[in-house]
Structure 1
Amino acid sequence: MRVGIICPYSLTLPGGVQMQVLGLARALRRKGHAVRVLAPCDGPPPDAGVTPLGLSLPTAANGSVAPVAPDPSAQLRAIRAMRDEDFDVIHLHEPLAPGPTMTALLLRPAPLIGTFHAAGRSLSYELMPNAVRFLAGRLDDRVAVSEDARKLAQDHLGGRYDLTFNGVELRRYEDSPTHPTEAPTILFVGRHEERKGLAVLLEAVTRLGADVRVWIVGEGPDTAVLRARYAGDPRLEWLGTISESDKIARLRGADVFCAPSLHGESFGIVLLEAMAAHTPVIASDIPGYANVARHGSDALLVEP
């Protein structure tokens, strides 16, 4: 089967949806399907099976910033790719995000499956209810990655949604080397913004001993302020954006993974990654994380 997967977010920037798209493509290829991923890219495509649609434009969404490509040139590239590839089925991740997924809904060149990732609140659903319901009605099947994502979609779009949780490729974690560390090490992975709770973690670290080390992965609008605030703390190692292989190695090397998000999480894929690396997890007790980890069994969940 010729399968198209369209991601509205730049595949060269870190993100849970992007990881699911690339992982699903690899899994389908192992099953013998011909898979082509269409998505914006802000650098060289991360996989030979990716057709880049152009650069992304940072856009505010769900308390964060989404690297989408709503510009006309990206839509033309998507249209040409869908025409040339002649897909048997097209899988749209976040089908109502501005850009190529919405273009595919309008054209509907093949049967369409839509996977909904977002939870919490959607301003576009609230401001354009008739338009988003019309577009969602062009999907042949609808999937949600969590109960919260299904509730958001059902409340605004109606329809039936199959619940299919996100996953990780266990072999990539089992085969990975372990990054060395010489001190008890906490790992944080995520965008540096209010909802991810990095400021809360760093404040808590001030109460810990001098022998603790903190690996901080990611970047964001709060990076400069937080680095300046804690500039004198030698325990903090600001790693910026790192490769997927380095992230997995550090997940395996850390003594604990901390996910202190305050809100806005649909499905805690980072918790799955830490568990796949056999690393203990401390996370906020919010619905998106409670869907993934059981308190006292899979993780220590605490009030955000």
Structure 2
Amino acid sequence: MRIGLVSPYSFDVPGGVQLHVRDLAEYLIRQGHYVSVLAPADDDTPLPPYVVGAGKAVPVPYNGSVARLLFGPVTAARVGRWIEHGRFDVVHVHEPVSPSLSMLAMWACEGPLVATFHTSNVRSRVLHAARPLLQAGLEKIGGRIAVSAEARATVRTHLGGDAAVIPNGVYVDTFAQAAPRLRWQGIPQRPTVVFLGRIEEPRKGLPVLLEAMPRLLAARPGLRLLIAGPGDPREVLGPVDPAVAAACEFLGAVSEEDKARLLSSGDIYVAPNTGGESFGIILIEAMSSGAPVLASDLPAFSAVLDEGRTGALFRGGDAEDLANQLLALLNDPARRRHLRQVGDARAREFDWSRVAAQIVSVYETVIAANLPVPATVPAARRSSRRRRGGS
């Protein structure tokens, strides 16, 4: 199968959608498919051989974050050439309603088209207002995928129609086999808590975790907080108590290998996110690494953690409840062992071997619906079949 994947976001910065596209592409290639990925990228960005750079992206505020997007007539021409030269059996665009490559590919594609919706934003006035402009492109999509029930609700509320829920995937064994790093590991008197995310982005929740730290340190004076992710620590540590600052170790942006090692090294992984999350891939990665997870009770996080059965939850935005739940986990080694066991089983439900098979099934269905009807089929049946294939 010849598959074209389109990422709306630049490959020169980390992000959940980019990682999803990359991992899916590499899994499909290993299964023997031809895959080409089109993505924004600066000219000097090192790219895998299967990625085609479409030009430099522009930072744009989007869904409580900053996305690096690419749009315009020159880019549209590049997208058209990529589709023409690729001779794809199916084109799979991600986030087709963001003003970037995926939207342009959606408009340009004339063959089998699949779209994955990642965003959860049920109150989006922009999406609601833009729906009439997007409708012609959206009607081309033969297979709609949402990564979660929350993303599906966004599709149904603002774009009309429905979508099959197929979650993000993880290479579970890659994280499960990661070797802990000694300097990141804790001991009973000096446990380590791990946070990973863009530290200056409020919705990632680091300020909530830092607000909980005085109570945590009062009960566990030796506790260390390992913070990984891009951003300037001075932006978040300015108003923080010196004792809290001393307990924090900022690691900066980490590689994928070091991310897996960090998650496998900590005593507890904390996800204090305050909103704007449609899934929770980092929770799956943490559980794959054997880390007990404590997360805010966002609907998407609750769903990943099976409503608290495979990870602990606290009231989102509530620093006191975060501290209470975290201390309860630190004081209960048996529960942490239990969460590691059930977390591993839960994570394997999201392994790429399962997720990619579901996506390929969507491809096959959409391709079959777009196949030419044999001339021997009566005209009335040909017309009916074409109408069904375009629905």
Q: Which TM class, normalised by the smaller chain length?
A: over 0.9
- Of stretches 178-187 and 17-26 in structure 1, the one that deviates more from structure 2 is 178-187
Q: CA deviation at 1:218?
A: 1.7
Which one-letter code corresponds to 1:205 in the other structure? M
Q: Does 1:216 align with 2:223?
A: no
Q: Does 1:254 align with 2:272?
A: no
Separation of aligned partners in 1, 2:82 and 2:185: 49
Q: What is aligned with 1:77?
A: 78
Residue matched to 1:205: 213
Per the alignment, in what secondary structure is the counterpart of residue 208 of structure 1? helix
Task: Say whether 1:5 aligns with 2:5.
Answer: yes
Contact 1:96 1:135 in 2 (8 A): no
- The offset of 1:61, in angstroms, is 1.2
TM score, norm. by length of structure 1: 0.93
| In 2: Cα distance, 1:55 partner to 1:130 partner | 29
Shift of residue 255 of structure 1? 1.0
How far off is 1:12 after superposition?
A: 2.3
Residues 100/204 of structure 1: CA separation in 2 closer, same or farther (3 Å cut): same
Task: Give the aligned partner of residue 64 of structure 2.
Answer: 63
Task: Tell me how far 1:296 sits from its aligned partner.
Answer: 4.2
Instruction: Please say if residues 217 and 240 of structure 1, whose CA atoms lie closer than 8 Å, have aligned partners that are also in contact.
Output: yes
What is the CA distance between 1:150 and its match in structure 2? 0.6
1:258-279 deviation digits (Å, cap 9, x = unpaired): 1011111100111111011110
- Greater Cα offset, 29-38 or 287-296: 287-296
The structural deviation recorded for 1:51 is: 0.8
Q: Does 2:201 align with 1:190?
A: no
Counterparts in 2 of 1:23 and 1:231: CA distance versus 1, 3 Å: farther
Take 2:251 and 2:47, find their aligned partners in 1: how far apart are those partners?
Answer: 20
Write the deviation string for residues 4-41 of structure 1: whole angstroms up to 9, x where unpaired.
Answer: 10000112211111111111111111211011111012
**Partner residue in 2 for 1:226:** 236
Structure 1 distance, partners of 2:37, 2:239, is 41
What does residue 98 of structure 1 align with?
A: 99
Q: Could you tell me which residue of structure 2 aligns to residue 161 of structure 1?
A: 163
Secondary structure, counterpart of 2:304 in structure 1: coil
Deviations 1:139-194 (A, max 9, x none): 11111111111111111111231111112011211332222225311111112322
Structure 2's unaligned 5+ residue stretches are: 317-391
Q: What amino acid does structure 1 have at the position aligned with 2:135? A: R
The residue type equivalent to 2:237 in the other structure is R
- The alignment partner of 1:41 has SS state of coil
Comparing 234-243 and 196-205, the one that deviates more: 234-243
Are 1:75 and 1:99, in contact at CA under 8 Å, matched by a contact in 2? no
Deviations 1:217-271 (A, max 9, x none): 2235x85420333484222112222211111110111111110111111001111
Separation (CA, whole Å) in 1 of partners of 2:166 and 2:100: 24
Q: Is the 8 A contact 2:83 2:109 kept in 1?
A: no
- Relative to its length, the structure with more helix (as a share) is 2
Structure 1 counterpart of 2:208, one-letter code: V
State the Cα RMSD in Å.
Answer: 1.8
- Counterpart check, 1:53 vs 2:61: no
Unaligned runs of 5+ in 1: none
Q: Could you say what secondary structure the match of 2:194 adopts?
A: strand
Please state whether the residue corresponding to 1:257 is helix, strand or coil.
Answer: strand
Q: Higher strand fraction: Structure 1 or Structure 2?
A: 1
**Who is 2:23 aligned against?**
23
Give the number of equivalent residue pairs: 303
Cα distance change on mapping 1:241 and 1:74 into 2, 3 Å: farther
Match of 2:246, SS state, is coil
Larger Rg: 2
Between 1:111-120 and 1:35-44, the stretch displaced more is 35-44
Whole-angstrom CA distance in 2 between matches of 1:27 and 1:198? 33
For 1:74 and 1:228, locate their aligned partners in 2 and report how far apart those are by CA, in whole Å. 41
Percent identity, aligned pairs only, is 39
Q: How far apart in 1 are the matches of 2:255 and 2:49? A: 17
**8 Å CA contact 2:57, 2:69 repeated in 1:** yes
Q: Is the 8 A contact 1:255 1:279 kept in 2?
A: yes
